[in-house]
Amino acid sequence: MTSTRAQMVAKAADLIARNGVAGTSIGDVLKAADASRGSVYHHFPGGRSEIIAEAVRFSAGRVDDGLAEAVRSSPTFIVADIAAMWRRVLADTEFAAGSTVAAAATARDTDPAVADVAEQHFVRWEDGLAAGLRSRGFDSERSRSLAVTILAAMEGAVVLCRAHRSFEPLDLVVKEISPLLTSPE
């Protein structure tokens, strides 16, 4: 990625995490990236849809790294590691930014291609978490159920943290879900 392209993608990801897909315009991205209007057509011939999809992939890639690290931990630390990743995002943005991928997933009516990108990443995360849990002795059905529960609880906790401007929802999710991971049943 060229530096202008990379800057535009990163800024678009941040704007989506803060304002949602519908609240992120090309003009906002250009202003945030200090880029010219021509750079959109040069770097993103598909226009707004292309840059939004790239921004979702970029954000998902950063989460991929955190999840991969969490999965290498023991099951009891998976939830704590994911929560720590979200705690950093929330703290760094003073609760202004949430999940770019979750924001994209909710854009099915207006931006179905972007919602498809989000869905693909959620499925990959579910599969990765489930595989990590299976490698720690959980059976396939339980692993999948726990993976979906972890992701749903974390994404919901991030929304609540932003609403309350507090880490308490994240802390409560860790407290309630961690015991589910102590031993395969």
Please state at what angle helix 112-134 crosses helix 140-164, rounded to 10 degrees: 120
Summarised one tens digit per residue, pLDDT across range 112-123 is: 999 999 999 999
Separation CA 108–CA 119 (nearest Å): 10
Give the residue carrying structure tokens 């994911």. Answer: 82
Four-CA torsion 64, 120, 158, 1, nearest 10 degrees: 50
Helix ranges restricted to H, the chain: 3-19, 26-33, 37-43, 48-72, 75-92, 100-105, 112-134, 140-164, 168-177
* pTM of the entire predicted model: 0.90
pLDDT tens for each residue of 101-146: 999 999 999 999 999 999 999 999 999 999 989 988 999 999 999 9
